Structure 1
Amino acid sequence: MFKNYLKIAWRNIKRNKLHSFINVAGLAVAFSVCILLFLVAYFHLSFDSFHEEKSQLFRTSRFTNSVQGPEMSSQMPLPAAAAFEAEIPEIEIAVTVNRGMPENIAYGNKNIERPITRTEPDFLDLFTFHIIKGNRETMLSGIHNIALSESTAHAIFGDTDPIGKELKIGKLGEEQIYSVSAVVKDAPKNSSIRFDAVARIESINGYAENKNNWASNASNVFIKIAENTNLRMIEDKLVPFVEKYYPEQLAQLKSEHPETMETHELLNIGLTNIEDIHFSGERSAPKALVFAIMALGIFILLIACFNFVNLNMARSFKRSRELGVRKTLGAFKGQLFLQLWGEAFLLYFFGFIIGMVVAYQLLPSFSAQFGGGLDIAVLFHPTFLAILVGVFIGVTLIAGGYPALKMANFRLVEILKGNVSTKKPGALRNTLLVGQFAISSLLICMSWIAGQQLDFLREIPIGFERDQVVSIPVGYQEDGRKVLARMRNELANDSNIISIAGAGGNLGRGRDRTTSTSIIGWDYDQKQISAYRLLGDFDYLKTLQIPILKGRDFDPAFSTDTTNAVIVTESFVKAMGESDPVGKYLGREEGNQIIGVVPDFNAYSPSERTLPILIDLSADEAINYIFLKVSTDNPQLVMERLASVWEKVAPRAIFNASFLDENLQAWYEVERTMTQIFGIASGIAILLSCLGLFAISLLVIELRTKEIGIRKVMGASVKGIVRMISVHFLKLVLISLVIAVPLAWYAMQNWIEGYENRIAIDPLTFVWVGFLVALIAVLTVSFHAIRVAMANPVKSLKTE
């Protein structure tokens, strides 16, 4: 009997090719998009879930209620880990984790650049990373032991056993010798803790000076609490902990906030579970984006399901006589339901398989486009497959089962009398059409507003020259200051080079994909000022075209500029409360004298909270980037010239030059991703909605063919008939807009509130979206309406 059901279902599918194609195509598109979007959400929501004791693992962070506003930072001082273990018994293990900038690793004639993660010997007692070679217990027993990740070990040694081999790490002339003690399996892609090599924290630069310095906030601290420990108990014990180890900072904060007396309101240490670290940045957009992506997948699948239900219910009139005959011959409701649901199952199965194949083919390019770090193997992970099969069965039972159940329940007498009809639009069909276009309109509004916010951020004046400024990472095999001096000599007479300067960090993210942030607190007149600290060499301001408002620029004629001179922005001066800060000193010792004031500019993304900026000229710190202001109409020619010079001045470093305007695009990756995903999703949603509307309007018009013929005989015009048919569907579209517009406004208003700089949502946006959706719907319906209105009424009257 089951075989008979399949045969009948297959014959019906073949007989109604257009109907079947629309259903399968819509379902395949919806399933493929849903699978890709669910993969992205699955990847992000699974971050750090592989750790065996994840419920007991936390990262610490500091909350400070400064005069500039509340500040949250995960950077902790070096002595904090040992103090946590000593002061709070419920903390079983505490480790410092410092993932520094890339360093040069040399073995024989081979050199590679990798960041070294410096930590405690208990690193693997906290985190679940597996040892491939070496001994877990003695991995970091010596200060100059180093464990390599699997990929780093292969890059250096190939297939040779690395255990016991010696590596030189550091710049030329400053190398330290490390012995390879272990090889650790690469961290999973969904790990917040990344490492290429792991060494002892004692080997970090400046450890001796900062090991007891509670103001040296530069590392993360992770803790493991005892099993079944009440987290509130630990948080309560952290209050006296703060009072004991931060007395000076607390005293200063109390003087700044005389109305606030509670310690936790001024300064406290918070705990973030390891599974929440991926979403615990200053901005909540990434997590909101993940949930939005899940909603997109559900919305698009819903639209395809609505299409399926609508088309099957609309076709029920045409199949009523078939069902009546079957009932007359003795078919039970259950048998009819199985037959009709079997047809639905086949269509869904074809759509699901095609969708899986399409998703499999698109996954690599989709992952590369949106930076998801997705792996094709995840598509066949048992958990993810179970989710997909569950979604498939649920959708098939609901969307396929409902029309089958309704048709199986048709009354025999009404069927045989021909009273089963869908000439008048049903409430269900109208509701589903309204739902489809409401979702489509919502997505179009959201993608449009997200695009406006992205454009707004890109157009914000950033305060420095981004055009025709080249950024070159020095790398870690050369001395940046020596390379800078050589470049100045080589390019001194080049008319295309306006100025050259060195910097400690990049602006934006260049081709080395490295970015760093340094936030330092400065004391002035019993006030603590938090500021971004930038390292800049001579001509830094000139190269970036940042004007001096007061005082002067760094000048080689002043020998003290390399030791105690700083330049600050206007917002820094405002925080100081001084009208003329030039000549004033920061800190307790006269070691940081302000020599100049510049306008505020964005050293980091305009989408994030801005802080004052302090620029200093330290002769002891490394120059990691070289900026060049160029003047040319042929950027490619300049790049070729710089590449040839680079080979002379830095023969061991890779030439990874880029223009600053390219680097700054990395600031907007979240917004760009959101705009693209919502744009693609809204396009697919409106396409599927129009596909369903196209088929529904065709069936409705077929059922009204005789009526239209009579109206033409009675003198109705083609224009009048088209208007009559289109107005009904246009009303449904307008109702969908009434639902979608408030939801879009509410969702996007909440989203843009998370930005320091944001747009005001323009009501005209919704007007234009409404006009666009209405126009698309009218054009879709009009295709059939015009064709039937222009048909010969004699043929129309012969139908049915």
Structure 2
Amino acid sequence: MERKPTSARSGAGTPGPARPPRWATRLLASWSHPDTREELQGDMLEMYAYWLESLGKPPADRKYALAAIRLMRPFARQKRSNDYSETYSFSAAMIQNYFKIALRNLLKSKTFSAINVLGLALGMACSLMIMLWIRDERAVDAFHTNNGQLYRIYMREYFSGKVQGVIWTPGLLAEELKKSIPEIEMSTPYSWTNPQTFSVGNKIHKQATNWASADFFKMFSYKLLQGTPEGALRDKSNIVISRNMAEAFFGSAEAAMGKAIRYDNRKEMTVSAVFENIGTNSSLQFDCLMTWDAYTDDNGWARDWGSTDPLTFFKLRKDADPAKVATKMLHLLDKTNRDAGKPYKTQLAMQPFHEYYLNSNIKDAKMDGGRIEYVRLFSFVAVFILLIACINFMNLATARSSRRAKEVGVRKVVGAMRSMLAGQFMGEALLIATLSAILAVLLVALLLPAFNSLTGKQMVLPWSEPMFWGIIAGLLAATGLLAGSYPALFLSSLNPVRILKGALKFDSSSVWVRQGLVVFQFGLSVILIVGMIIIYRQVGFVQNKNLGFDRENLVYFPIEGELFKKYDILKAQLTQVAGVKEVSHMTANPASNGNGTEGITWPGSDPNDKVRFTPVGVGYNFTKTMNLQMADGRDFSKDFPTDSSGVLVNETAVKVMGLKDPVGREINWGRSKIRIVGVLKDFHFQSLHTAIRPLIAYLAVREPQGSVIVRIQAGKTPETLTAIERICKKLNPNVPFTYAFTDQEYARQYQSEQVVGKLAGYFAFLAIFISCLGLFGLAAFTAEQRTKEIGVRKVLGASVAGIVGLLSKDFLKLVMMAIVLASPVAWYIMKQWLQGFAYQIDIEWWMFVLAGVIAVLIAVFTVSFQSVRAAMVNPVRSLRSE
């Protein structure tokens, strides 16, 4: 085609033909390829001349500018004169070709492919199970329609410059909230859960029972099968029961409505509603609910502002400002005279109900910590294990880099761009990640029942939920991109000239990256191993620690029904049983006692200070039955009638009161004077999460309540329990006999720690296993790079053991470095975890040494396998020139 560039030129000093916009011409010159720039400009000038003649100047300018913009290559860098790269696009054919190549490479190297898929699958399966567990934890209480408006009250008590938080509140508080704060629409007290006996005809069952106000079912979204939220707890004779309870007593939910059910063999209650069985996604668990008015009829002290017992929940109006409500309720108790005449003040605070389950601990008078700490912990564990699996993939990919190097070199020589090669390797990583994700889902489906058994959950794979598949897709994408990024960038950066000359060597930066990945892998593994050791030690410590009493062969059962009146007969008959050593009773139970009183004062006590004592009513022979030790004085005795106004205190109480000779001293309990008759050596009556509190034990023989405690002779448990049950059924025929062993109930207090310990052990094992796959990859990579060196050394007389030691020492250095770097991190993490226990083990040096030895031994075994394999190769093959 003939060019007419002069059509756009002007002669010197004379006006020439019109020219296109300069900015468009410059833009075209800047973004066009050097090889086609002149031809493209000529064609564009010819088109401009045609547009100018047929359309005129303004339209021609517009068309020229628009064409120049269209000819730009978006997102391209400005081309240099020596850049001869060609444009490309990821077409369907190219993606299909990448898939075929990736599949062929997987089938060609079956061992490496299997290790890659297995390593990623294990990491993804662990992460997926942890994600399901976290999802289940965060779903607790999320089903309530009014969740954003529901809150819980807790109290902050200020005294002597200190502040402490209390979750239990006055029973009168719920109604006062509605009266005093208009933004509060509904409120309810909620008592502690207590197994109670119910009967209909000959059917007698114990059910987990709670008490609440009429607003309860209007606030919370528990599904009612029969009845209405408004009428469920309208009358004090009403009872709302679960589907299971309705079917157990009446056959069905429909048949239960309006029927009478006898409570504690002394009250007739009417079924006013039936609710669906409460699932594990609710923090409030109960089989039936009765009205708060019925509770206060049986417990008159609950009408006193000075008594605390229930939790208090309330619902805000939708337009209410929580911050303003919190300010209003701060001093609400001031007008109740609850703190009148006392040297301390109580303030109210509120917590969103959706945080109640995960944030249940009080720290510095604020709701802080609880199960949320385990959610955070396992979130990090999930990320760590997935990172370890991805690092394992990176190391294995780079270990095979020399086998893929010639492929990269040939592709580059024939014109493949780096981005195309990187895309290919990323595609291979995504393919492996996809296969791993499929295997991971199958593993989770297989292992989920065992995981549920371990964690006490009822999780299922939510196949029908889009969010689940979104999590799978996100996990797959994150794993594929993370695992494939470094190999893709590394392999695509190889120099084709050096590759095809056979001079492929790797610079120090790439070596440092791979070694750093191994250090990071084993560092995370060491942290998990140290955590496992410390958790196991702490759980063992709290379960086996001397509590100050003998919890073995100690049985207790509730005083209920006819046993209130027949306790003396019961005790007399129990003492005649051959296997019974001692019998007594207490108002709490031996495994847990959280009661408190602040009414204790003594001569010289600070009126501005506030000390919370734990009171417990006991019977005669209490110390013998519990195997408690006396530090001073004596036990209660029928030989001393004045013991009815006497008390036993523990050593902590003596320290708090500052009494040098406490026995015989008088102290005050409210307005009553009491006398200390004995001092008990400290013993634990709560879990080891809590420090031993001051204890005051009083004689409660007129109206025994709480629990009967029985010391059984070792080796005679079955026959003795049978005899006890026979006596209880005879004296108390309308109440089923239930009992508990103190040691088992005590162990249940640490169930969360036991689960965490087991999970830490499993995750530590998997982390080490996956890390070893990565170490195996690096060992294979190093052996490949040093093939000729090994051959030369063998020709010169080096032994197999010497070569194995040569190849292994570098890896052991990496593992030792990981141990050194990870140990301080592990110490800090576990120190924070141990802060949740008032009594804890010391973190000792040998724990880190043991974790290091485990890591080193596993690493040595892994590396030695590959090193021996490399050392056994015939040196003739190693030195053969290709």
Same fold per superposition (TM over 0.5): yes
Q: 2: distance between equivalents of 1:158 and 1:223?
A: 35
Q: Which secondary structure state, in structure 2, belongs to the residue aligned with residue 738 of structure 1?
A: helix
Aligned length: 776
Q: 1: distance between equivalents of 2:879 and 2:284?
A: 74
Structure 1 residues 322 and 292: CA distance shift in structure 2, 3 A:
same
After TM superposition, give the deviation of residue 67 of structure 1 in Å: 6.1
After TM superposition, give the deviation of residue 601 of structure 1 in Å: 1.0
Q: 1: distance between equivalents of 2:302 and 2:535?
A: 46
Give the number of the structure whose alpha-carbon radius of gyration is greater: 2
Q: 2: distance between equivalents of 1:6 and 1:477?
A: 75
- Tell me which amino acid in the other structure corresponds to 1:580: P
Q: 1: distance between equivalents of 2:461 and 2:577?
A: 56
- Tell me which amino acid in the other structure corresponds to 1:500: V
For 1:301, the equivalent position in structure 2 comes to 386
For 1:318, the equivalent position in structure 2 comes to 403
User: Is 2:173–2:312's contact at 8 Å kept on the other side of the alignment?
Assistant: yes
After TM superposition, give the deviation of residue 370 of structure 1 in Å: 2.5
Q: 2: distance between equivalents of 1:169 and 1:568?
A: 40
Q: 2: distance between equivalents of 1:184 and 1:248?
A: 40
Q: Which secondary structure state, in structure 2, belongs to the residue aligned with residue 183 of structure 1?
A: strand
Q: 1:167 aligns with which of 260, 275, 278?
A: 260
Q: 1: distance between equivalents of 2:878 and 2:286?
A: 74
Structure 1 residues 447 and 183: CA distance shift in structure 2, 3 A:
same
Structure 1 residues 447 and 628: CA distance shift in structure 2, 3 A:
same
Asked if 1:154 is matched to 2:234, the reply is: no
Q: How does 1:81-160 map to 2 (within 5 A)?
A: 81-159=174-252
Structure 1 residues 588 and 336: CA distance shift in structure 2, 3 A:
closer
Q: Which secondary structure state, in structure 1, belongs to the residue aligned with residue 540 of structure 2?
A: helix
Q: Deviations over 1:332-354 (max 9, x none)?
A: 55554444333322321222122
Q: 2:300 aligns with which of 193, 209, 212?
A: 209
Q: Which secondary structure state, in structure 1, belongs to the residue aligned with residue 438 of structure 2?
A: helix
Q: 2: distance between equivalents of 1:507 and 1:51?
A: 36
Structure 1 residues 645 and 331: CA distance shift in structure 2, 3 A:
farther
User: Is 2:296–2:302's contact at 8 Å kept on the other side of the alignment?
Assistant: no
Asked if 1:760 is matched to 2:760, the reply is: no
After TM superposition, give the deviation of residue 300 of structure 1 in Å: 0.7
- Tell me which amino acid in the other structure corresponds to 2:460: I
After TM superposition, give the deviation of residue 581 of structure 1 in Å: 5.2
For 1:398, the equivalent position in structure 2 comes to 482
After TM superposition, give the deviation of residue 77 of structure 1 in Å: 1.0
Q: 2: distance between equivalents of 1:776 and 1:333?
A: 38
Q: How does 1:147-546 map to 2 (within 5 A)?
A: 147-159=240-252, 161-172=254-265, 174=266, 176-206=267-297, 209-210=300-301, 212-227=303-318, 229-246=320-337, 248=339, 251-254=341-344, 266-278=345-357, 279-282=359-362, 284=369, 286-328=371-413, 331=416, 333=418, 335-371=420-456, 373-378=457-462, 381-422=465-506, 426-469=511-554, 471-474=555-558, 479=563, 482=566, 485-486=569-570, 488-492=572-576, 494=578, 496-508=579-591, 517-525=594-602, 526=607, 528-546=610-628
For 1:732, the equivalent position in structure 2 comes to 814
Q: Deviations over 1:416-474 (max 9, x none)?
A: 333444597622211211110110011112222222333333343211112232x1434
Q: Which secondary structure state, in structure 2, belongs to the residue aligned with residue 520 of structure 1?
A: coil
Q: Which secondary structure state, in structure 2, belongs to the residue aligned with residue 519 of structure 1?
A: coil
Which sections of structure 1, spanning at least 5 residues, go unmatched?
Answer: 255-265, 509-514
Q: 2: distance between equivalents of 1:247 and 1:660?
A: 37
User: Is 1:551–1:595's contact at 8 Å kept on the other side of the alignment?
Assistant: yes
Q: 2: distance between equivalents of 1:43 and 1:700?
A: 44
Q: 2: distance between equivalents of 1:182 and 1:632?
A: 48
Q: 1: distance between equivalents of 2:394 and 2:406?
A: 20
Q: 2: distance between equivalents of 1:306 and 1:68?
A: 53
Q: 1: distance between equivalents of 2:565 and 2:810?
A: 74
After TM superposition, give the deviation of residue 742 of structure 1 in Å: 1.4
After TM superposition, give the deviation of residue 738 of structure 1 in Å: 2.6
Q: 1: distance between equivalents of 2:476 and 2:704?
A: 57
User: Is 2:197–2:735's contact at 8 Å kept on the other side of the alignment?
Assistant: no
Structure 1 residues 154 and 335: CA distance shift in structure 2, 3 A:
farther
After TM superposition, give the deviation of residue 207 of structure 1 in Å: 5.9
Structure 1 residues 717 and 624: CA distance shift in structure 2, 3 A:
same
Q: 1:588 aligns with which of 670, 690, 700?
A: 670
For 1:553, the equivalent position in structure 2 comes to 635
Q: 2:648 aligns with which of 564, 567, 591?
A: 567
User: Is 1:314–1:422's contact at 8 Å kept on the other side of the alignment?
Assistant: no
After TM superposition, give the deviation of residue 213 of structure 1 in Å: 0.9
After TM superposition, give the deviation of residue 544 of structure 1 in Å: 0.8
For 2:862, the equivalent position in structure 1 comes to 780
User: Is 2:628–2:681's contact at 8 Å kept on the other side of the alignment?
Assistant: yes
Identity of aligned residues (%): 29
Structure 1 residues 126 and 493: CA distance shift in structure 2, 3 A:
closer
- Tell me which amino acid in the other structure corresponds to 1:504: T
User: Is 1:519–1:533's contact at 8 Å kept on the other side of the alignment?
Assistant: yes
Q: 2: distance between equivalents of 1:799 and 1:625?
A: 87
Q: 1: distance between equivalents of 2:621 and 2:836?
A: 36
Q: 2: distance between equivalents of 1:356 and 1:651?
A: 53
- Tell me which amino acid in the other structure corresponds to 2:614: Y
For 1:261, the equivalent position in structure 2 comes to none
Structure 1 residues 628 and 746: CA distance shift in structure 2, 3 A:
same
After TM superposition, give the deviation of residue 66 of structure 1 in Å: 4.7
Structure 1 residues 459 and 194: CA distance shift in structure 2, 3 A:
closer
- Of residues 744-753 and 790-799 in structure 1, the stretch that sits farther from structure 2 once superposed is 790-799
- Of residues 744-753 and 625-634 in structure 1, the stretch that sits farther from structure 2 once superposed is 625-634
Q: Deviations over 1:251-286 (max 9, x none)?
A: 4325xxxxxxxxxxx532121111221222247353
User: Is 2:261–2:270's contact at 8 Å kept on the other side of the alignment?
Assistant: no
Q: Which secondary structure state, in structure 2, belongs to the residue aligned with residue 529 of structure 1?
A: coil
User: Is 2:574–2:724's contact at 8 Å kept on the other side of the alignment?
Assistant: no
Q: 2: distance between equivalents of 1:614 and 1:382?
A: 58
- Tell me which amino acid in the other structure corresponds to 2:355: D
After TM superposition, give the deviation of residue 69 of structure 1 in Å: 6.1
Structure 1 residues 63 and 441: CA distance shift in structure 2, 3 A:
same
User: Is 1:166–1:177's contact at 8 Å kept on the other side of the alignment?
Assistant: no
User: Is 2:175–2:187's contact at 8 Å kept on the other side of the alignment?
Assistant: yes
- Of residues 735-744 and 611-620 in structure 1, the stretch that sits farther from structure 2 once superposed is 611-620
Q: 1:12 aligns with which of 73, 91, 105?
A: 105
Q: Deviations over 1:361-394 (max 9, x none)?
A: 22222222223x2321557644344233212222
Q: Which secondary structure state, in structure 2, belongs to the residue aligned with residue 253 of structure 1?
A: coil
- Tell me which amino acid in the other structure corresponds to 1:189: T
Structure 1 residues 366 and 246: CA distance shift in structure 2, 3 A:
farther
Q: Which secondary structure state, in structure 1, belongs to the residue aligned with residue 231 of structure 2?
A: coil
Q: How does 1:561-710 map to 2 (within 5 A)?
A: 564-578=645-659, 579-580=661-662, 582=664, 584-590=666-672, 593-619=675-701, 623-633=705-715, 635-636=717-718, 638-639=720-721, 642=724, 656-710=738-792
Q: Which secondary structure state, in structure 2, belongs to the residue aligned with residue 521 of structure 1?
A: coil
Q: Could you say what the CA RMSD is over the residues aligned between the two structures, in angstroms? A: 3.0
Q: 2: distance between equivalents of 1:580 and 1:112?
A: 47
Asked if 1:61 is matched to 2:141, the reply is: no
After TM superposition, give the deviation of residue 670 of structure 1 in Å: 3.0
Structure 1 residues 5 and 478: CA distance shift in structure 2, 3 A:
farther
Q: 1: distance between equivalents of 2:350 and 2:310?
A: 15
Which sections of structure 2, spanning at least 5 residues, go unmatched?
Answer: 1-92, 364-368
